[in-house]
A and B are shown apart, each in its own frame.
Chain A
Amino acid sequence: MKRSVSILIAVLATGGIALGQGMSPADVSYDEYGAVEVSLSGQPGNAEAGEKIMTTRGKGNCIACHQVDALAEYPFHGEVGPPLNGVADRYTEADLRGIVANAKMTFEGSIMPAFFKNSGYIRPGIAYTGKAAGPGDLFPILTAQEIEDVVAYLLTLKE
């Protein structure tokens, strides 16, 4: 019930840039290399909030697959993706935004889930329930602002 109320709010807020909600996944413009120039939320990211998202299960949980030495206080870093140490030296802000939002636009066929996408899936479910998702049940895994927060955190990873 609470869910459907928030869906309604999200729907009402579409075109929500004016309301500070940021763009919806369909509005995101990727360049030919998969980079995204403008902030998805229209606001700058908060690196501290980004760190929280990076390390929280059910949010980004980026360390499930990537090793990040700067986050060593959080246990168990995965090995599925490349380590993110020094990632800000290798990629621009726009590159990182595009990769976090939908890595497949940069790396074709990547195993990395798209964190800012809500359509175009095979047999999508409602979160981790295993139940079929109906129209309106799908939200991007991270919000526009959460993507910006993660990008802000990644930009701190310099060697």
Chain B
Amino acid sequence: MIKRALTGAVCVATLVAGAFVGMNAVADEHANLIVNGEIEMVVRTEAPEHMENVDTIYSGWVYRATETQALQMDDFDNPGMLWVDQAAEYFETAQGPEGRSCQDCHESPEALAGVRAVYPKWDEERGVVQTLENQINECATERMGLEPLKYTGSEMVNMSALLASVSRGMPINVAIDGPARETWELGKELYYQRTGQLELSCANCHEDNYGNRIRSDMLSQGQINGFPVYRLKNAKLNAVHSRFKGCVRDTRAQTYAPGSAEFVALELYLASRGNGLSVEGPSVRN
């Protein structure tokens, strides 16, 4: 409580000092994230070895205003949890021609704890890197006889939020060696490619300028450990490929499609830049 009040005082001071350029309240950069008073999140840690230009990785939570940060600290305040509850119902509901539910194979959502943390992941049988969404659709179509869920549609995003929620606090740990390497390399290439009429790469903003403001927004490292993300901006859960699309569009570039090989590769690469941060989804951002 004392710490909260202190942070508030710092914010007021910052507001006064920054008033002439109209800055928002800046979050305490040393704040720690503990959800429901029990799930301790790693929001800053040493960068994985493969990252050449960054020493410390930070969750996007670190860059948000104190009020936004607080929304993620209690599930009753986190609007994203409403859709997690919906997905939990879906999980139990028998459907499709054979009247099967997720529960028939997976005892409970909690039985899938840890899954989110290792996706995207090489799928031996299919010979490709699969995202969690691909895996959910594999279950839906092959085991339940359903039509595939729309890649960034609400049912899929909700299910992805449910699976993230049961892995919260576990470290992201995607594999980038072995057969996944080629996909990872493609993702890395895309990360550094300057696209669109603004000629911006992911790295221009999220590696070279994290912590700097772009107009009213503070640039983060573009970590994806918090997806799906509840955004105050559109008041809903956002899939990671939807966010990619928005970012690429904002460089005045032709975007890739959600679920495309390019976005799967980019997701693997970005996930690997967050190896060591905690699974946070559904997180809250602006």
By a beta-carbon cutoff of 8 Å, the part of chain A in contact with chain B is 57, 61, 63-65, 67, 69, 72, 75-80, 104, 111, 113-114, 117, 121-125, 127-133, 138, 141
Contact = CB atoms under 8 A, between A and B. Distances in A.
Contact of A123 (B21, B250, B253): B253
A67 to B, nearest CB: 7
B53 interface: no
A63 B213 contact: no
10 contacts: A75-B22, A79-B212, A114-B199, A123-B196, A124-B196, A124-B253, A128-B249, A130-B254, A132-B254, A133-B254
Contacts of A123: 195-196, 253-254
Contacts of A141: 197
Nearest to A71: B21
Contact of A79 (B22, B198, B213, B251): B213
A116 to B, nearest CB: 12
Interface in B194-235: 194-200, 204-205, 208-209, 212-216, 219
Contacts of B200: 111, 113
B170 to A, nearest CB: 33
Interface in B227-286: 245, 248-255
Given A113-B199, A113-B200, A125-B255, A80 B250 contact: no
A108 to B, nearest CB: 13
Contacts of A129: 249
Interface of B: 20-23, 193-200, 204-205, 208-209, 212-216, 219, 245, 248-255
Contact of A111 (B20, B204, B248): B204
B107 to A, nearest CB: 41
A124 B252 contact: yes
A47 to B, nearest CB: 21
Contacts of B199: 104, 113-114, 121-122
B249 A78 contact: no
Given A76-B215, A111-B204, 8 more contacts: A75-B21, A76-B23, A78-B212, A80-B213, A122-B253, A130-B245, A130-B255, A133-B254
| List of 10 A-B pairs having minimum Cβ-Cβ separation, nearest first | A75-B22, A130-B249, A76-B216, A132-B254, A130-B255, A79-B212, A64-B215, A113-B198, A125-B254, A123-B254
For the residues of A in contact with B, the DSSP-based class is loop
Tell me which of A65, A113, A130 has the highest count of chain B C-beta atoms within 10 A of its own C-beta: A130
Nearest to A63: B215
B69 to A, nearest CB: 20
For the residues of B in contact with A, the DSSP-based class is loop
A70 to B, nearest CB: 11
B197 A121 contact: yes
Contacts of A72: 20-21
Contacts of B21: 67, 72, 75-77
Contacts of B248: 130
A21 B254 CA distance: 29
A78 B213 contact: yes
A72 B199 CA distance: 28
Given A75-B22, A113-B197, A141-B197, A80 B254 contact: no
B247 to A, nearest CB: 10
A104 to B, nearest CB: 8
Contacts of B255: 125, 130
Contact of B249 (A121, A122, A125): A125
A84 to B, nearest CB: 13
Nearest to B21: A77
B196 A76 contact: no
A69 B18 CA distance: 12
A130 B247 CA distance: 10
A129 B249 CA distance: 6
Contacts of A130: 245, 248-249, 253-255
B188 to A, nearest CB: 16
A65 B198 contact: no
Given A67-B21, A72-B21, A138-B197, A125 B253 contact: yes
Contacts of A64: 214-215
